[in-house]
Amino acid sequence: MNLRSKLAVVTVAPLAVLAASASQAALDAGIGTAVAATSADITEAGVLIIGLAVVAMGVRWVKATFF
């Protein structure tokens, strides 16, 4: 990565963080509660998807090894 790209990342990243925090502060408290309530469900779904991917790759590895 060249110096110009690094400078762009260093300049843009803090601005993005500031914009995100300002927009989140403007949300209603009910929205924050709803997001917190569904966070566990979203995490569980992600874990299940990753688990299925691991199982699928394991099956493919076994098939490639023995067949």
1-52 tens-digit pLDDT: 677 777 777 777 777 776 766 666 666 777 778 888 888 889 999 999 999 9
Query: Alpha-carbon distance 15 to 21, whole Å?
Result: 10
8-state DSSP, 27: S
8-state DSSP, 32: H
Query: Alpha-carbon distance 52 to 41, whole Å?
Result: 17
pLDDT of residue 1: 60
Query: Alpha-carbon distance 43 to 51, whole Å?
Result: 12
Average pLDDT over residues 51-62: 96
What the block records as the tokens of 58 is 């394991």
pLDDT of residue 45: 94
pTM: 0.49
